[in-house]
Amino acid sequence: MNTIEWLCRLIAYDTTSHNSNLALIDSVANHFLSHGLNPWVTKNEDYSKANLFVTIPAADGSEQGGLILSGHTDVVPAEHETWLSHPFRAEIREDKLYGRGAVDMKGFIAAVLAAVPAMKSARLKYPLHIALSYDEEVGCLGARGMIEEIQARGLKPEYCIVGEPTGMKAVLAHKGIHVFRCRLHGKPAHSSLPDLGVNTIEYAAHLICFIQKLAERFKQPSYHDPNFNVPHSTLSVNTIRGGHANNIVPSFSEFHFDYRNLPQMSVLDVIKPISDHIRHELEPLMQKTDSRALIEIDEIVSVPAMSASGSPKITGLLNVLETTAAKESVSYTTEGGLFQQAGIHTIICGPGNIEQAHRPNEFIELAQLAQCDAFLERLIKAFSK
């Protein structure tokens, strides 16, 4: 099958993150088996989802080293009523292919799968690996286990291309993402006697204002990196809940906040000032009324940023692939930071525009798929004897 045929098949699998991806994984595994390859899978705890990894060995049979082509199989939800066509039935209109996951990022996966026969027939100097993960959209959950398995098997890949949509320009850096859950435990009271209670909504409001001030501080030029289109780290509170009734002082509240950090900034740059404010300012006030009152913060999502590497290895890879690095780094997060953290030289490069991702009527331009096909042809040629 060609790239467009593969993409139509992949879109037909509803791999929204709350669903299983096993049907898609089984279909792709059978494709590899039909070409004499031996894929392996790693599954999540309840065996409802799987990563898939396969190696096309070098001509001398070696499976160590080489390059990974990486993509995630899950997609974000699609509300059918906001689409002009069925989100899980691919449709070509004019020069675009529509469907959930078309650009993020089944388009890249389709091009890679279509290129498998060419990879298999080439006399490769180095092995090529294909890595498909689950649950990237909800915290890059699958990639962690897959990278651990790659290391356990001693494969030691040298390079990785993560095929997120970049318009086929090589991106060398992206922000990290960290999501925190904040839980406030107070004391209930009748709303006619509020001083007898510890109102967790009020203290949540104080803490949210503090977080917002911290976010404003990061906008100062001294924190900027001009290579990013949003040149500073960001903080935002995105969900909140609390209270039981209009006449009860709320004893419990919870909110979540999201930290998108530049590669040169760490989690401590955010969590330390917030924790200090809680311990030295808010909790002492709460505990004047009830010594058991407290505020808890847990990190529930953590994906590292990817730093721009000046490594000659990356420069050499870009030259071989006849592509140049994009001038702008990206503010979204990918699995690339995890591969880089594992010591693998990584770039982000794939077909399509990120602006089309996570939206109704998601599409990828057919010309972008053609560019990706040509890119993979150059890669196979460069890695062949």
CA–CA separation, 167 and 272 (whole Å): 38
The catalytically annotated residue of 74, 202, 362, 373 is 74
269 annotated active-site: no
225 annotated active-site: no
Pair 205, 256: CB distance under 8 Å: no
Residue 225 three-state SS? coil
Q: What is the DSSP string of 232-249?
A: S-EEEEEEEEE-S-TTEE
Angle at 261 between CA 257 and CA 266, to 5 degrees: 100
Residue 20 three-state SS? coil
Of 22, 16, 8, which Cα lies nearest the Cα of 92? 8
Tally of helices (H runs) and strands (E runs) in the chain: 11, 15
CA–CA separation, 63 and 157 (whole Å): 9
CA–CA separation, 360 and 193 (whole Å): 49
Return phi, psi of residue 267, to 5°: -60, -35
| Helices 107-114 and 366-382, packing angle to 10 deg | 50
Token digits of residue 16: 């929204």
The catalytically annotated residue of 14, 136, 137, 164 is 136
Token digits of residue 279: 């311990």
Alpha carbon of 176 to those of 172, 297, 338: distances in Å?
13, 19, 10
Token digits of residue 245: 């009734």
Q: What is the DSSP string of 332-371?
A: S--THHHHHHTT-EEEE--SS-GGGTTSTT-EEEHHHHHH
Residue 135 CB neighbour total at 10 angstroms:
21
Instruction: Tokens 């909790």: give the residue.
Output: 283
Rg (C-alpha) for the chain, rounded Å, is: 24
CA–CA separation, 364 and 352 (whole Å): 5
Token digits of residue 51: 């990563």
The catalytic site residues sit at: 74, 136
